[in-house]
Structure 1
Amino acid sequence: MKVAIMQPYLFPYIGYFQLLNRVDKFVLYDDANYINRGWINRNRILLNGKAKMITLPLNGASQNKLINEISIHNGKREKKKFLKTIRHAYTNSPYYNQVFPLIEEIMSNDEENIAKFIEYSLKRIGDYLDYNTDFIISSELGKNNSLKGEDKILDICQLLKADIYINPIGGRDLYSKDRFIGEGIELYFIQTNKIRYSQNNENFIPNLSIIDTLMFNSKNKVKDFLEGYKLV
């Protein structure tokens, strides 16, 4: 059983989806503390040839609150503004006609809790890309919430009977392979290969939102990108 655990991010970059696609169970860590200026309610898109941050504003967002305690501010209006920006940015992209209806359908969801809204968006993109990963919501697990860091990750893995845990490469210094092996779990880190594609732009801008990747590539090409990584 392969497991990954990640906070909910708004339309994250392709590496997030590589991890999601690689595991059997993907734990959406919705009861972690909110991180100011992180990726929970914002991401980057390509607008007029440059990277632009696009954001869903939140009500009372604070690092003293859990992600699942926070809602989108003026949800219906802000989602329409978000969608209008996407339309303006990508109307001339080659796969706009296939992808914009998907983004429009996601943004039309009335859910205002940011964690639940992101869960819905990840599942809908999964439907488009044909991955069949099971989503597990962290706050619904009977885990020991007094644990921190590596101990909490191991607790979740044990609850889910994982024998493999995969983490983004950025967390390599946070976890010990020996500790995981001692608990009967193999630990791997996923490292995304360099991915390039035409953006109708002179200079390629990497690591933008999955929206950018979808707008400029066929579904099959994006599915190829999902396999563009190595485990270390």
Structure 2
Amino acid sequence: MKKVAILQSNYIPWKGYFDMIAAVDEFILYDDMQYTRRDWRNRNQIKTPQGGQWLTVPVKAKGKFDQSIRQTEIDGDEWRDLHWKALSLNYRRARYFSEVVEFIEPLYQNSYRTISELNRAFIEALCVYLEITTKISNSWDYQLIEGKTERLSNLCQQAGATQYISGPSAKDYIDPNIFSDAGIALTWFNYEGYPEYPQLWGDFSHGVSILDLLFNCGKDSPNYMRFVKK
């Protein structure tokens, strides 16, 4: 049995994103999809004494309404220092800050051309730290056909999947019959029931970047997640 998940890349995603990666044998970054503004592709939240703060990577999107995520270029490099300063300022008191800094800080010293390139670099590095060994591939590694559900099902077939694990929000548009006709089991991932962990700055928040969990819990982070190391 081979399990596959297909999601757009996100910038420093929340813990549920990595649970999805860990739950499958192959995780396909679906960056052939249209880029959408004010979404998770180029931004995420961290915690601060004043509440949640967005860290947003500026991209060249003006007048490029039809461009895909993989075509979306990053606009300049100033954001790298700004994001790193925000992380340092708000998490330097966290228990595992100095440990996590060793692999996170170098990522902010690199230059990236597209948001897809940036996101994949961070996702892969975070998986290494969490000891998630799932294969990560790109949607453009495969042939793409028309139709929302048809394309997902066909990607699974090309990847040799027997089971497709989808985020619950996709229930609004996925046609389960297309997967069943292809002989692929369709499973909905459940993001509910996460335990709280030691967290800085006020009321607990589950929806922030996974960096919040790593800075506060280090290698104990999987204890507050769902995956079992492969």
Under a length normalisation based on structure 2, what TM-score does the superposition of the two structures give? 0.92
Q: Which amino acid aligns with 2:168?
A: I
Q: Deviations over 1:98-155 (max 9, x none)?
A: 11222212212222211011111111111111111111111231232xx121111011
Shift of 1:183: 1.1
Task: Name 2:204's counterpart in structure 1.
Answer: 204
CA displacement, residues 48-98 of structure 1 (integer Å, 9 cap, x when unaligned): 1511111111123543111111121112x2211111111111111111011
Hey, what's the Cα distance between the residues in 2 that align with 1:204 and 1:49? 13
Distance in 2 between residues matched to 1:228 and 1:126, nearest whole Å: 12
Match of 2:75 among 73, 76, 79: 73
| CA pair 224-177 structure 1, distance change in 2 beyond 3 A | farther
Structure 1 equivalent of residue 213 of structure 2 = 213
Report the CA distance between 1:226 and its aligned residue.
Answer: 3.2
One-letter amino acid of the structure 2 residue matched with residue 182 of structure 1: D
- Structure 2 distance, partners of 1:28, 1:225, is 24
Report the Cα distance in structure 2 between the residues aligned to 1:143 and 1:200, rounded to whole angstroms. Answer: 44
Q: Secondary structure at the match of 1:72?
A: coil
Q: Provide structure 2 residue ranges, at least 5 long, that are not aligned to the other structure.
A: none
Q: Is the 8 A contact 1:2 1:162 kept in 2?
A: yes
Partner of 1:101: helix, strand, or coil?
helix
Instruction: State TM-score, norm by structure 1.
Output: 0.91
Q: Which runs of 5+ in 1 are unaligned?
A: none
**Matched residue type, 2:31:** D
Q: Distance in 1 between matches of 2:209 and 2:200?
A: 16
- Name the counterpart of 2:155: 156
Runs of 4 or more consecutive aligned structure 1 residues displaced over 6 Å after TM superposition: none
1-side partners of 2:152 and 2:6: how far apart?
Answer: 8
Over 3 Å counting, the alpha-carbon distance change for 1:22 and 1:133 in structure 2 is: same
Alignment correspondent of 1:30:
31
**Which residue of structure 1 aligns with residue 6 of structure 2?**
5
Q: Per residue, is there more strand in 1 or in 2?
A: 1
User: Which residues in structure 2 correspond to 1:37-48 (within 5 Å)?
Assistant: 37-48=38-49
Deviations 1:152-174 (A, max 9, x none): 10110111111000011121232
Letter in 2 for 1:100: V
Tell me how far 1:228 sits from its aligned partner.
Answer: 6.4
Question: Please, what is the CA RMSD of the aligned residues?
Answer: 1.7
- Aligned partners of 1:162 and 1:170: how far apart in 2? 21
Instruction: Identify the residue that residue 182 of structure 2 maps to in structure 1.
Output: 183
* 2:105 alignment partner, SS class: helix
Inter-partner Cα distance in structure 2 for 1:134 and 1:228: 15
Alignment of 1:105-120 (within 5 A): 105-120=106-121
Number of equivalenced pairs: 225
- 3-state DSSP class of the match of 2:172? coil
